[in-house]
């Protein structure tokens, strides 16, 4: 069994060149097998505005009609992904930029229309862990943009937190997997306005209590739902931390918020 770290880096870091460069320098220091999944929503919104494509968000989720799908494909799969890959190459990390369509790594299906029509948004059906494992054996570091594809050949916009969790879960059969969510906060906070109020450890029971009390809310809820799902499905460790703490989180396990099932 290899040690494998799957790291998701959020858009609030990606859209700040200095913060991104610092994170990638830290990421390069991780010597075990590793996979990076990135977002880029803020940049997509900025590019859409320049192109005259309206952005519609519902509860933090992007409505992806055809014009917006074109934008996120260009931004996620092109601009952001290839910039990250190029920067990693300069740091002597032999990265390979991917979407879920590449080598058929992440198959999805278009989300069914319910009360809300999310458009070309994909829910993950299957991960080809064999292809990803092969890349790792070749010394490559996969860098995934949050795009998947369906059996009809359509590209689909897929939540990056969900993608990271799903990849981590599918890789547990041949690896001891740590999943790390990195963003601009130091972890899950008791008080969103106080970056020092980090909850050092979190169980499902405490999570539900904090959620009921409104302490944990909004965008942190789907992130934590994905994180606990990963733990329940064989991922050894899940940590949520600041992008600057990624090496400390992976090597020492004492940064940010560590999730456990009990």
The backbone region for 77, taken as left when phi is positive above 0, alpha when psi lies in -120 to 50, beta otherwise, is: alpha
Neighbours of 201 (CB within 10 A): 11
- Cα dist from 105 to 47, 51, 141, whole Å: 27, 30, 14
Contact (CB, 8 A) for 239 and 223: no
- Cα dist from 154 to 40, 162, 164, 206, 255, whole Å: 20, 19, 21, 40, 39
Q: Give which of 231, 233, 187, 232 is closest to 210, Cα–Cα.
A: 187
- Cα dist from 157 to 150, 233, 244, whole Å: 11, 24, 27
* Rg (the chain; Cα; Å): 17
Q: Give which of 235, 117, 242 is closest to 175, Cα–Cα.
A: 235
User: Hey, which residues does 170 pair with through a beta bridge?
Assistant: none
Q: Determine the Cα–Cα distance for residues 184 and 171; give it in Å rounded to an integer.
A: 27
Q: Would you call 258 helix, strand, or coil by DSSP?
A: strand
Residues of the binding site for substrate? 40-41, 62, 157
| Backbone angles phi and psi of 184, in degrees to 5 | -90, 0
Residues of the binding site? 40-41, 62, 157
């Amino acid at each position: 069994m290899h040690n494998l770290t799957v790291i998701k880096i959020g858009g609030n870091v990606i859209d700040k060149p200095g913060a991104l460069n610092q994170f990638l320098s830290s990421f390069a220091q991780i010597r075990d097998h590793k996979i990076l999944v990135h977002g880029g929503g803020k940049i997509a919104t900025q590019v859409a505005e320049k192109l005259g494509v309206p952005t519609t968000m519902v509860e933090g989720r992007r409505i992806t009609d055809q014009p917006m799908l074109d934008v996120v494909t260009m931004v996620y799969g092109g601009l952001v992904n290839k910039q990250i890959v190029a920067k990693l190459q300069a740091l002597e990390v032999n990265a390979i930029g991917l979407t879920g369509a590449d080598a058929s790594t992440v198959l999805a299906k278009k989300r069914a229309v319910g009360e809300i029509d999310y458009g070309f948004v994909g829910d993950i059906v299957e991960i080809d862990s064999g292809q990803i494992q092969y890349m790792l054996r070749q010394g490559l570091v996969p860098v995934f943009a949050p795009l998947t594809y369906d059996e009809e050949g359509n590209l689909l916009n897929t939540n990056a937190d969900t993608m990271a969790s799903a990849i981590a879960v599918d890789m547990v059969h041949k690896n001891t997997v740590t999943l790390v969510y990195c963003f601009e906060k130091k972890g899950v906070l008791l008080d969103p306005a106080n970056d020092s109020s980090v909850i050092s450890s979190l169980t499902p029971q405490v999570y539900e209590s904090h959620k009921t009390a409104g302490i944990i809310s909004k965008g942190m809820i789907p992130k934590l739902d994905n994180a606990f799902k990963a733990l329940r499905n064989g991922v050894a460790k899940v940590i949520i931390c600041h992008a600057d703490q990624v090496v400390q989180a992976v090597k020492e396990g004492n940064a940010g918020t560590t999730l456990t099932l009990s």
